[in-house]
């Protein structure tokens, strides 16, 4: 059905956005640990063995969240603008159709009078 297709598309878009955000995060600001600083006992269990400190992971996650929220709010604004334009054109089309119907009604009235 349409709703499941829509949800699947939204999930795919979200996945792409996350991937894009991760790429941007890596390219714009690589987080390097300072020499001499040790993060003993701070490693996240989900990243156990990867050597990624929990703080760093959390910082990346919050950066990605901020990036995604900014991106999505901009996208929502853009979609709202598109909707306004579409709605405006739809209203124009509706008015034109109503005017056309009125013209046809008047023509019918004239034809009836002649007959």
Digit-coded pLDDT (tens) for 65-112:
888 888 888 888 888 888 887 777 778 888 899 999 999 999 999 888
Instruction: Determine the Cα angle at 104 with ends 100 and 109, to 5°.
Output: 145
The pLDDT value recorded for residue 51 is 61
The pLDDT value recorded for residue 97 is 92
CA distances for 72 relative to 5, 7, 34, 51, angstroms: 20, 16, 33, 32
Do 21 and 67 form a contact (C-beta atoms < 8 A)? Answer: yes
């Amino acid at each position: 059905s349409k709703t499941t297709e829509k949800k699947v598309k939204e999930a795919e878009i979200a996945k792409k956005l996350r991937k894009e955000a991760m790429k941007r995060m890596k390219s714009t600001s690589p987080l390097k640990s300072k020499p001499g600083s040790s993060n003993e006992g701070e490693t996240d269990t989900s990243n156990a063995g990867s050597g990624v400190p929990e703080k760093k992971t959390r910082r990346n996650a919050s950066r990605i969240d901020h990036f995604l929220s900014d991106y999505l709010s901009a996208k929502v604004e853009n979609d709202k603008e598109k909707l306004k334009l579409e709605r405006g054109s739809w209203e124009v089309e509706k008015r034109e159709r109503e005017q056309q119907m009125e013209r046809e009604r008047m023509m019918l009235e004239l034809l009836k009078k002649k007959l």
